[in-house]
Structures are given as structure tokens and as C-alpha cells.
Amino acid sequence: MKKISLLGSTGSIGCSALEVIRRNPTKFQIVSLAAGRNIDLLKKQIEEFHPVMVSVLEQECAAALKKKLSPSSGIEILYGCEGCCRVASVEDADMVISAIVGAAGLLPTLAAIDAGKDIALANKETLVMAGKLVTEKAKYRGVTIFPVDSEHSAIFQCLAGQNSKTVRRVLLTASGGPFYRFSSKQLESVKPGDALKHPNWVMGNKITIDSATMMNKGLEIIEAHWLFNMDIERIHVYIHPQSIVHSMVEYIDGSVIAQLGIPDMKIPIAYALSFPERLDCPELSLDLFRVGKLEFFPPDVNRFPCLSLACEAVRQGGTMPVVLNASNEVAVEAFLAKRLPFTRISELVDRAMSSHQCMTSPEIEDILEADGWARKETEKLLKSMGH
Ligand SMILES: NC(=O)C1=CN([C@@H]2O[C@H](COP(=O)(O)OP(=O)(O)OC[C@H]3O[C@@H](n4cnc5c(N)ncnc54)[C@H](OP(=O)(O)O)[C@@H]3O)[C@@H](O)[C@H]2O)C=CC1
Ligand SMILES: CC(=O)[C@@H](O)[C@H](O)COP(=O)(O)O
Ligand SMILES: [Mn+2]
């Protein structure tokens, strides 16, 4: 029985992970949960999975949750980043699923690694912000990071333990989002409601907007760079509107190995939880006759500049990817709040990166400082741009 701590239990990945666990009660057991503010859903999860410890975003949420639960539940209720880090390092857990959205996922994931837990990693921002630190720490602690992100799970499966020296390149697939056929002019007037309609995946709001700007693919290039120790020049993005081929690996002999499946996150989650075994999921079946065609196109970095910004951030290294990520988080929130036009998301990130004094080889304190600086700077730029 694998004991699991789940961070971000009330989110899209969190709920899919609980569905996998629900269907495999003899294989997995939840020991702790962390969420943000959705205490109604968290209460239901507590009553079903009986964790010994939970954490929520703020003290008020913890107090409200305590009132809703039976006094005899005996559960420990914590809050804030500290509470989340305790959930992530709870003694009993073998594995931590890191599925909080954004930079808030970094410290709890590091706490889990420090405590020697294997990680099922959905929170790509962790590797974008602190890839060097996280991978080095994981190696030192003997911790394995299993990718949950669908493309990285695909690459992991295509690599099948092979030495990366035998790999010529990685073909990272992207749906292109809802606007991949839009002209620059059309992109100027897209609204949050349009951008939140991903053609193939049902996901949280932040990653859905990132898919629409293609910043998601930029973040995923950085994620693949750290997970598979691969230069970004060997990571090539392919627009694949069907989201059936989740990524491919080309070997030095010319063989290309792909992983295919329906677009359902339960597949990569199940693999990360059960590796090296595979779980029986009869309902998750791919009918290629129904899919009919699989198409591949090159990305257009002129209409989707976030891809180039992400590559530039890795090339500069140090704290630049931290700024890319933080500035993007602020810009996405501003777009969702209808403060910022869609096409200005990339412009804002670009401007924040341009005004950053990049620091090489940052420690965790430097990373957090750069994150805070970028958030303030982006807010300042937003105002100076009249938003
Ligand atoms: N959704 C998907 O299919 C995929 C997601 N990912 C990645 O996985 C991560 C999660 O994405 P997704 O599930 O879509 O996001 P959601 O927005 O659906 O869920 C986010 C989760 O994080 C919690 N949360 C947010 N902020 C905090 C905080 N400060 N402290 C503690 N908990 C917090 C939320 O709590 P609450 O709702 O209670 O406030 C919620 O449980 C992201 O990094 C994303 O890029 C990667 C591949 C696919
Ligand atoms: C499900 C998943 O892994 C997402 O990251 C997804 O790939 C987003 O789709 P895009 O390819 O449109 O970014
Ligand atoms: Mn992905």
C-alpha cells in the first residue's frame, strides 16, 4: 500500500488524482491533503479519504473547516505555507503529489524532497523557478521525481530508462490552444471566456490561459530541460491539434517513439503513482479510427511570443526563469480580471524580463526574492501601461 500526501487536492489534477486513488483502494492510501480556499470540497474529501492532517490557505479557512468537521474526526488542521510544508513532509507518506498551481507549489515540493518523499510532479512552476536546485536536491536525497504533466510523462515513457546520450531530440507536442489559427489582429480582441475554452483538456484557469498564449509550452520546455537533462536546442515544439500524441523521442538511429492516449490526466497520474507497474483503467481507451487523423505543424513564435520568452529565460538562466514565471502569473491574473488585453500578456513578461538584473546560481532565498521583485515590477509596468 503506497501512502500518499496530495497537495492541491481541490484542483483539477487533485480531483483526478483522487479518482485514481478511489478506484484503487488496495494500492493507495491518502495520509494528508493540502488545498487553498475550497473548504466545502475539502470537507467531502476528508470524509471520504480520512487523512490524518490537512492544510488550507489561511487561518480563517482553517477555522471555518474546523467548524464544519465533527469534533471526533481527530484530524490536524494547519494553514499557510508552513502548514502545507508539514503536509508535504508528513512522516507516514511515501509519495507526494505536487499539484498546487503556480509559485506557491515550490516550497512544499522542496519540503517533501527534504523529507525524502518521492514526488509525482504536476506543478511545473517548481522546475521553472528552481530546476537546478530541485533536481540536485532530489539526487542528493535519493528522491525520484515522476512527471505528471502529460508531455513529460510521455517523454518519460518513450525514454523507458534509456541513456539521454542516445536521444537525438525530443518532440514536445502542443495543442496550440483555442487560437492557434487566429491572426495577430484577431488575437488582440480575445476575451477570458474564449481563452478558457481549451479545445481538448479540462484544466484549472491558470494553465488554460497559459495554453492559449503558449506560455504553457514555454514552461514545459524548461520543465523538460531539467527533468531529462536536455539542452533546449534538442527540445522541438510541434503543434498537434488533436492532443493524442502526448510527445515523442527521436533516437540517434532515426527511430521515433511516441506515447499516445486520450487527453485524460488520469493516465499520466496513474503511471506516476504506480511506476513501474501499470494500473488497469478499462475506461481509458483510445479509438484511433474515431480520431481519424493526427496532424503536426510548426509553431509561430511571432503570434505566440511566450515560447521565445521562455527559451530566452533558460538561455540567460539564474533568476530569469523565476521572473518569467512570476510576471506571467501576474499578467494572467490581470487578463482574467479583464485589466489586460490578451496580446499584452507576453509584452508585460518581456518588459519585466528586460528590466531584471539576472543573478546566476541563485539559492532559494534569491529565488523567492526574484519572485517577489518580479510581481511588484509587473504590477508597476501594468499601471504604467495604463491598466
Ligand atoms: N490541470 C491539468 O490538466 C494539468 C495541470 N498541470 C499543472 O498542475 C498544477 C495544478 O493545476 P490545476 O489542477 O489545473 O490547477 P487548479 O487551479 O485546478 O487547482 C489548483 C489547486 O491548488 C490549490 N492552491 C492554489 N493556491 C494555493 C496555495 N497558495 N496554497 C495551497 N493550495 C493552493 C487550489 O486550492 P483551492 O481550489 O481550494 O483554492 C487547488 O487545489 C499547475 O502547476 C499546472 O500547471 C500540469 C499538467 C496538466
Ligand atoms: C494536460 C497537459 O499536460 C497540459 O499541459 C496540456 O498539454 C495543455 O495543452 P497545450 O498543449 O495546449 O499547452
Ligand atoms: Mn502539459
Task: Name the pLDDT band for 387 (thresholds 50, 70, 90).
Answer: confident
Containing structural domain, residue 36: 2-122
Give the per-residue pLDDT at 71: 84
Residue indicated by cell numbers 492557434: 180
Asked which of 142-146, 164-168, 208-212, 219-223 is least confident by mean pLDDT, the reply is 164-168
Residue 26 has pLDDT above 90, yes or no: yes
Does residue 7 lie within any of the structural domains? yes
The model's pLDDT over 337-381, given as tens digits with 9 standing for 90+, comes to 999 999 999 999 999 999 999 999 999 999 999 999 999 999 999
Does residue 358 lie within any of the structural domains? no
Residue 386 has pLDDT above 90, yes or no: no
Q: 243: which 3 cell numbers?
A: 492532443
Q: Determine what percent of the chain is predicted with pLDDT higher than 90.
A: 97
Does residue 159 lie within any of the structural domains? yes
CA 229, 232, 235: angle at the middle one, nearest 5? 95
Residue of minimum CA distance from atom 42 in ligand 1? 101
Q: Does the interface predicted TM-score (ipTM) exceed 0.90?
A: yes
Give the per-residue pLDDT at 363: 98
- DSSP line for 260-285: E--S-THHHHHHHHHTTS----TT--
Name the residue of 213, 243, 245 to mutate for ligand 2: max ligand atoms within 8 A of Cβ: 243
Task: Name the pLDDT band for 188 (thresholds 50, 70, 90).
Answer: very high
- The domain boundary residue, chosen from 291, 318, 349: 291
Under the phi-then-psi rule, with left for phi > 0, alpha for psi from -120 to 50, and beta for the rest, what region is 295?
beta
Please report, in range form, the residues annotated as the binding site for NADPH.
10-13, 36-38, 123, 125, 204
Q: What are phi and psi of 292, to 5 degrees?
A: 80, -60
Which residues neighbour ligand 3 (ion) by CB within 5 Å?
149-151
The model's pLDDT over 198-212, given as tens digits with 9 standing for 90+, comes to 999 999 999 999 999
Give the per-residue pLDDT at 18: 98
Question: From the CA of 179, which ligand is nearest?
Answer: 2
Does residue 339 lie within any of the structural domains? no
Check if 251 has its Cβ closer than 6 Å to any atom of ligand 2.
no
Same domain, 193 and 285: yes
Does residue 161 lie within any of the structural domains? yes
Same domain, 60 and 117: yes
In 3-state terms, what secondary structure has residue 300? coil
Question: From the CA of 238, which ligand is nearest?
Answer: 2
Does residue 133 lie within any of the structural domains? no
Same domain, 95 and 158: no
- The domain boundary residue, chosen from 291, 325, 346: 291
Q: Packing angle between helix 320-336 and helix 364-384, nearest 10 degrees?
A: 40
Name the residue of 128, 156, 201, 306 to mutate for ligand 2: max ligand atoms within 8 A of Cβ: 201
Residue 165 has pLDDT above 90, yes or no: no
Q: What are phi and psi of 228, to 5 degrees?
A: -115, 10
Instruction: Determine the distance from the C-alpha atom of residue 286 to the mean position of all C-alpha atoms in its chain, rounded to a whole number.
Output: 24
Same domain, 283 and 164: yes
Rounded to the nearest angstrom, the distance between the alpha carbon of 8 and the centre of ligand 1 is: 5
Same domain, 271 and 192: yes
Burial 47-62 (b: 16+ CB within 10 A, else e): eebebbbbbbbeeebb
The model's pLDDT over 31-84, given as tens digits with 9 standing for 90+, comes to 999 999 999 999 999 999 999 999 999 999 999 999 999 888 899 999 999 999
Residue 163 has pLDDT above 90, yes or no: no
The model's pLDDT over 226-240, given as tens digits with 9 standing for 90+, comes to 999 999 999 999 999
CA distance 67 to 73: 11
- The domain boundary residue, chosen from 233, 257, 291: 291
Mean pLDDT taken over the chain:
97
Based on C-alpha coordinates, what's the Rg of the chain?
20
Does residue 102 lie within any of the structural domains? yes
pTM listed for this prediction: 0.98
The sign of the dihedral angle between the CA atoms of 236, 237, 242, 246 is positive
Check if 80 has its Cβ closer than 6 Å to any atom of ligand 1.
no
Check if 200 has its Cβ closer than 6 Å to any atom of ligand 1.
no
Does residue 66 lie within any of the structural domains? yes
Same domain, 104 and 195: no
Same domain, 202 and 84: no
Same domain, 26 and 81: yes
Same domain, 69 and 200: no
Residues in a beta bridge with 76: 53
Same domain, 65 and 22: yes
Residues in a beta bridge with 236: 171
The count of domains in the chain is 2
Check if 201 has its Cβ closer than 6 Å to any atom of ligand 2.
yes
Give the per-residue pLDDT at 72: 85
Question: From the CA of 204, which ligand is nearest?
Answer: 1
What is the CATH classification number for the domain harbouring 93? 3.40.50.720
